[in-house]
Every structure is written in structure tokens, then in C-alpha cells.
């Protein structure tokens, strides 16, 4: 029995119409086995991020259902938001969980990408661990120049899609699909209206500007709040701690005569990342996850579940996995 388990974090270019976001939520929840853990929307970014977990087949069905909703409600040509994007369903990363190998996540990403381009004729770029060209590991590289540049260059050898037609879909644009390790997406709101300050801070803290390794950062103005924001992705939070990125932004903000008002986490970070940041600010000596009660409770629950699997007779179906008479789609 395949025990592979995945997280999927689709990013959709819609953050203002609550009824459309609700349509995405409903489409996901209609798929048995696709568990929607969290979703959030931002009007300034004009973007929504969904966090799903499950096995391969339910996640595949859920993502295709999201494209169906996007095709009915979204038109990328009319989209304007602070966040970079090249597609209505802009990015679809798969993250292997528990002991699932990365190659299984890549196989799922490729299967979904092929289904999307066959059913919806959306050009697909494969990124991160699934990239076929080294430069395409980077999401920023794929988005460079924005939608306008991609439209002009999509038929050139350098920017031809990995799958699908060498032209943008008139409503949905293009999509980036792949597999990656867990990352931490978080934003820092600054006590200034000057977006140039946020851009300067982003340049100083990100890896490309000589700052922290594994850190991507942008400076953005949020019209709804009247404040500038540093929007960041820590692509490997195990190597570059969350608190280190935050404190570097704080230090640079002081240089520009401003301060941090608040922070915002997008999606659901791993417990280890949150615990490490908490331990840093608590100045907790000798900290490890073994000091967290829930860490042990989860381990015990997992061990007991595995004991239950081992006790089943060969071929016996796990209760609740499948409704009577229900068949999986190919």
C-alpha cells in the first residue's frame, strides 16, 4: 500500500472577491481525501494561498478542480496586484511529508502538470526539484520581466514552456508546477509609506544582494494599509533561521529611520521552524523539539496508527479510505 503523503500549496491570482475565493475552497472540500488546512487572501497582493495535504490522487483531483474554478472566474489580463505572477493558478508546489521521497513529489507534480496542460491548454514550467533546465529551479527567474515579458518571449528557446503550447492561455496565462522542500513565506510590515525603503531593505537582506543565503525578498507598497512591506521567502529555513531574517530586517529598518509594525506568516510553517524562533526569543538553553509535549504526543499517535496497520489482515481495507462502491479515477 502506497503511504506517500504530500503537502500542496497552490497560489492563485485572486485576493479581492470573496465569492471567488469561496468557490476555490468549495471545490477543494468537495474532493474526498484532499484536506484543506488553511487559506488566506490579500487584497494588495491580489493573491490567495491554500494549504492542502493528502495522498496523490485526491490532491491531483483538487488541483484540477481549482483550474476549473479559475477558468470560470479569472482573467489574468484584467489582474493587477502587488505580487509578481505569470498565471491565474500561478504556482503549484508539492512538498513530500513524513518519509515520502522527493522523487515521489516530482512524479506527482509532473502528472498534475501533464493533466493541466492536456485539459486546459495552459503552458507549464517545471521548477525547483522538477526543473529540466538549471535556471528554472528559481521561481524568480521564471517570473522575471512579468507577464508582459513572458508573452513576448514565450516562443523563444530560453523561455519555451516545458509542457503545453508556446503561448499564454488567454485567461489563465501560464503556471509553474514542481516539487520542493518546505519553505517559510512571511511578510514584514514597516512603519513607513516609502516603498523605496522597503525595496532597499529587501535588496540588503536577500541572498542575491549579498544578504542571507536561502532568502528571497521584495519591497511592496500596500495601498489598503498605506504602508510598505518586505515580502520574503526562506527557501531553506533549516539552514537560514526565521529569526535571523527577521532581525536583519529590523536592523536595516533602523538604518532607514523606521521600524517593524507587525509580521505575517503565509501558509503553515513546520513546528520545528516556529519552535526554533520561540526558543531564540525566550533565550531557552538546551532547546530541542524533544522538550515540546506535542512532539511526543504526535509520535505516540503515529506509532499507534502504524501498529494498527500492521495488525490488519493482508488485503484488508483501512476504514474510511474508500466509500462502499467508490472507485478511483484514472
Contacts of 5 (CB under 8 A, 6+ apart): 53, 54, 55, 96, 97, 98, 100
Query: If we measure between CA atoms, which residue out of 153, 163, 152 comes closest to residue 125?
Result: 163
DSSP for 282-312? HT-TT--GGG-HHHHHHHHHHHHHHHHHHHS
Closest C-alpha among 100, 155, 105, 97 to residue 129: 105
For 162-196, give the DSSP string.
SBS-SS-BTTTB-EEEEE----EEEEEEES-S-HH
**What is the distance between the alpha carbons of residues 8 and 94, in angstroms, rounded to a whole number?**
5
- Residue among 35, 45, 46, 83 flagged as catalytic: 83
Contact call for residues 197 and 209 (beta carbons, < 8 A): no
Active site residue 83: yes
Active site residues: 83
Amino acid at each position: 500500500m502506497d503511504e506517500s503523503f504530500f503537502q500542496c500549496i497552490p497560489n492563485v491570482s485572486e485576493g479581492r472577491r470573496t465569492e471567488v475565493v469561496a468557490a476555490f475552497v468549495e471545490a477543494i472540500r468537495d474532493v474526498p481525501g484532499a484536506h484543506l488546512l488553511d487559506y488566506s487572501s490579500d487584497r494588495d497582493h491580489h493573491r490567495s494561498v491554500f494549504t492542502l495535504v493528502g495522498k496523490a490522487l485526491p490532491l491531483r483531483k483538487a488541483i484540477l478542480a481549482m483550474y476549473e474554478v479559475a477558468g470560470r472566474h479569472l482573467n489574468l489580463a484584467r489582474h493587477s496586484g502587488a505580487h509578481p505572477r505569470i498565471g491565474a493558478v500561478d504556482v503549484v508546489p508539492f512538498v513530500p511529508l513524513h518519509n515520502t521521497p522527493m522523487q515521489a513529489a516530482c512524479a506527482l507534480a509532473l502528472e498534475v502538470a501533464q493533466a493541466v496542460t492536456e485539459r486546459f491548454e495552459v503552458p507549464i514550467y517545471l521548477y525547483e526539484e522538477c526543473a529540466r533546465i538549471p535556471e528554472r529551479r528559481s521561481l524568480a527567474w521564471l517570473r522575471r520581466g512579468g507577464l508582459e515579458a513572458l508573452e513576448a518571449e514565450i516562443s523563444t528557446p530560453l523561455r519555451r514552456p516545458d509542457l503545453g503550447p508556446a503561448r499564454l492561455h488567454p485567461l489563465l496565462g501560464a503556471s509553474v508546477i514542481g516539487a520542493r522542500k518546505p519553505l517559510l513565506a512571511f511578510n514584514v510590515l514597516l512603519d513607513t509609506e516609502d516603498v523605496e525603503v522597503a525595496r532597499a531593505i529587501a535588496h540588503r537582506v536577500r541572498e542575491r544582494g549579498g544578504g542571507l543565503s536561502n532568502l528571497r525578498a521584495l519591497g511592496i507598497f500596500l495601498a489598503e494599509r498605506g504602508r510598505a512591506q518586505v515580502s520574503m521567502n526562506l527557501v531553506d529555513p533549516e539552514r537560514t533561521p526565521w529569526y535571523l531574517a527577521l532581525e536583519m530586517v529590523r536592523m536595516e529598518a533602523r538604518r532607514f529611520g523606521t521600524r517593524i509594525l507587525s509580521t505575517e506568516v503565509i501558509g503553515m510553517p513546520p513546528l520545528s521552524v516556529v519552535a526554533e524562533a520561540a526558543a531564540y526569543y525566550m533565550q531557552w538553553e538546551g532547546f530541542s523539539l524533544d522538550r515540546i509535549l506535542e512532539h511526543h504526543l504526535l509520535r505516540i499517535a503515529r506509532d499507534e496508527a502504524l501498529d494498527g496497520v500492521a495488525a490488519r489482515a493482508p488485503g484488508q481495507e483501512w476504514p474510511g479510505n474508500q466509500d462502499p462502491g467508490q472507485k478511483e479515477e484514472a
